[in-house]
Homo-oligomer: A and B are copies of this chain.
Amino acid sequence: MRKLQIGVIGSTADLKYTKKLEKTAVRIGKLIAKSGNILMYGAEKDYDSLPTIAARAAKKADGLTIGITYGKGKEVYDEQSADVIVCSGLERGGGREFVLVNSCDVVIAISGGSGTLNEIAIAYQLGIPVICLKGFGGWGEKLAGIFLDKRKRLKCLSAATPKEAVKLAINAVQKNYKK
């Protein structure tokens, strides 16, 4: 079977996340790498972020990571986090986010502000499963366990731990594509 493309989405550093959140991101990155799957994330040019932390952890664990960035610049490339940088040519704030989510088989949300909300809404619209980590605040927590609208497409799944999140992510893809 092919490797899954698992997106990690969540807060950027300007949202001031805790050490505990950072550790959670590290754990998720490591688990994705160990599962033999691919980690996809939004590569930022200015801020660190939980997704970038997860990507660095995945790289450290010999995983394959793909950063999707905005605009043109391949200068965002950082060999500690990314194997490949794809430059969407689209602005951040909706455009880059769309190319990222559209390229994922499933996404895992860790906390997160408006960008994460945007990405969860995209995933829902595209029928891509979303795994939300509970207990970490942000949109990732608020949307855990609910449908985003009356169409009741795919419920945002709720995970209590990084381990459960990665496991649910892998299962959700397999179930989603069996349909």
Using CB atoms and an 8 Å cutoff, list the residues of chain A in contact with chain B. 2-3, 5, 14-16, 38, 64, 66, 68, 71-72, 74, 77, 79, 83-95, 97-99, 101-103, 105, 113-115, 117-118, 121-122, 124-126, 138-139, 148-151, 153
Copies assembled: 4
Inter-subunit contact B113/A150 (CB<8 Å)? yes
Grouping DSSP codes into helix (H, G, I), strand (E, B) and loop, the A interface class, with mixed when no group exceeds half, is: mixed
Q: Which of A64, A79, A115 has the most CB of B within 10 A?
A: A115
Residue in contact with A150 in the complex, picked from B15, B86, B97, B125, CB distance below 8 Å: B15
Inter-subunit contact A101/B95 (CB<8 Å)? no
Do A122 and B93 form a contact, CB below 8 Å, given A86-B99, A99-B99? yes
Residue in contact with A95 in the complex, picked from B3, B68, B98, CB distance below 8 Å: B98
Nearest CB in chain B: distance from A12 CB, A: 10
Give complex CA distance A66, B89 in Å.
17
Do A102 and B91 form a contact, CB below 8 Å, given A64-B84, A121-B121? yes
Residue in contact with A86 in the complex, picked from B72, B86, B105, CB distance below 8 Å: B86
Inter-subunit contact B84/A88 (CB<8 Å)? no
